[in-house]
Amino acid sequence: MITPEKPISSQPIFDGHVVQLFLDEVELPNGKIAQREVVRHQGAVAVLAITPENKIVLVEQFRYPCNRVLLEIPAGKLDISGENPAQCAMRELAEETPYTCESVNLIHQFYTSAGFSDEKLYLYQAVGLNCNSTLHPDEDEYLELKELSRNEVCAALQNGDIEDVKTIVAVQYWLLMK
């Protein structure tokens, strides 16, 4: 049976708008002391949206940490602590694409990089998609809408054009749906 590490201390290193960084000291199951660098994040959502033409809704966006444009499903961080993830998912879809939806269904929730971060991502599927959004991306977001068929998604996966893990999880789920 795996025994949890016991926290001893936590030193804040950085407090930003998106993440906080801590240097924690923990006691291991064998009694030894170790350090853990921990990135705290309030969580995020992502939306698998399928058009009536059976195409997946994606956005291209430059991602500074990767220094490249990535092809992704619509997504964003929970804006406030305690924000309802389903409502956030519906908002993000409407902000990043011309689409709204009647509701969302939770597909899965997962940690994006559990080795150093507590960020939990909630992956939803949009239900009742409509092309009627009046919202706009955040002022620091520059997005280009892409809609791909199943064959185009398969080709994008094979070519390495989709490198974002939340998008890989979502499109694999979609491809397995019949």
Q: Which residues are catalytic?
A: 139
How far is residue 50 CA from its own chain's centroid?
Answer: 17
- What are the distances in angstroms from CA 71 to CA 140, 163, 166, 171? 17, 7, 11, 12
CB proximity list for 119: less than 8 A, separation 6 or greater:
39, 41, 43, 44, 111, 112, 113
46-80 b/e (C-beta count within 10 Å ≥ 16 → b): bbbbbeeeebbbbbebeeeeeeeebbbbbbbbbee
Which DSSP category does 89 fall into? H
Q: Within 10 A of 124 (CB to CB), how many other CB atoms are there?
A: 29
